[in-house]
Amino acid sequence: MSERRAPAGGSMPWSVRLSMGFVALFVLFALFGQWLSPFDFRETSLLNRLEPPALFTGEDSPYLLGTDARGRDLLVRLAVGAQISLIVAVVGTLISAVFGSLLGLIAGARRGFAETAIMTAVDVQASLPIIIVALFVLAMFNNSFILLLIMIGFTDWEGYARLVRAATLSAKEQGYVTAQRVLGSSAARIYLRHVLPNIFNIILVKFTVSLPLTILLETALSFLGLGVQPPMTSLGQIMSEGRDRLLNAWWLTLFPGAMIFLLALSVSLIGDWLRDRLDPTLIEGRRA
């Protein structure tokens, strides 16, 4: 009797299903959460300062998640903060992915001086304490949303460069690359039209792994007052405003902190699952 083998990859774990559900809810809340409140996220009311969440107290109040020290509705501020944090995380990670992947592709394709220069820059970047560099740049120059995006975007490019370079060196030895050379294809066509699509799964996995780190970096900078600046807001900034009121206004740090924790955890679980499904070495190991 032949032994039945489980399908490669297996079914999706329940933890990944829950993670995908939470990420979907987070995105929907970031896009449409402002409609859940009748207030603007900048609207203040000194008569309603530090009101506790009506959702838990059962009081007849329009502030479902309470208010902050200026009487601003926390629900709508969380929606706007989630939107800004999501934009910063996704755009910042995309910048790292595109820049690092391009340099890694060049290093693996050209070798010689280009590879040496790029990998030296990778080593220098990897040795720098990113949070200290970000604090220095944002403190020295005029802090703006665009500058924050650029700083966050150039914090993890070296990881993409290393991975893509190694994948490119491996892909160069494959038969389809040799066939394209024999057919007279240019180097740009070979690497952009054939090599890059074949190693894209590695970039995708790295993207999902880097996204939670980008979220936490933006949160840390905003918590320290060097991230998103008023009148804009982010989840890290909301936490920063409530750090001195943990005892009498716990909701100011609990709600944004829980959202950040669950988002980072969910994306990490999804990234681990994608790595198991898309990593060529792991796929070959399961087949064996």
The whole-angstrom separation of Cα 54 and Cα 65 is 6
Interval 64-98: pLDDT, tens: 999 998 999 999 999 999 999 899 989 999 999 99
Give the per-residue pLDDT at 284.
47
pLDDT, residue 230, reads 81
What domains are defined for the chain?
85-247+268-282 (1.10.3720.10)
94, 100, 156, 167, 196 from 281: Cα distances, Å: 25, 22, 23, 12, 18
262 class by beta-carbon count within 10 Å (0-12 exposed, 13-18 middle, 19+ buried):
middle
Rounded distance, CA 240 to CA 194, Å?
47
Contact status, residue 82 vs residue 74, Cβ threshold 8 Å? no
pLDDT at position 187: 76
CA distances 243 to 194, 223, 237, Å, are 51, 9, 10
pLDDT at position 5, please? 41
**Tens digit of pLDDT at every position of the chain (288 positions):** 344 343 444 578 899 999 999 999 999 999 999 998 899 998 888 888 999 998 887 778 889 999 998 999 999 999 999 999 899 989 999 999 999 999 999 998 887 888 899 999 999 888 888 778 877 887 777 778 888 888 888 888 999 999 999 988 888 777 777 787 777 777 778 888 888 888 888 888 889 888 888 888 888 888 877 788 888 889 988 988 888 888 888 999 999 999 999 999 999 899 888 878 776 554 444 444
Dist CA 210 CA 152 (whole Å): 11
pTM over 0.85: no
Residue type, 47: L
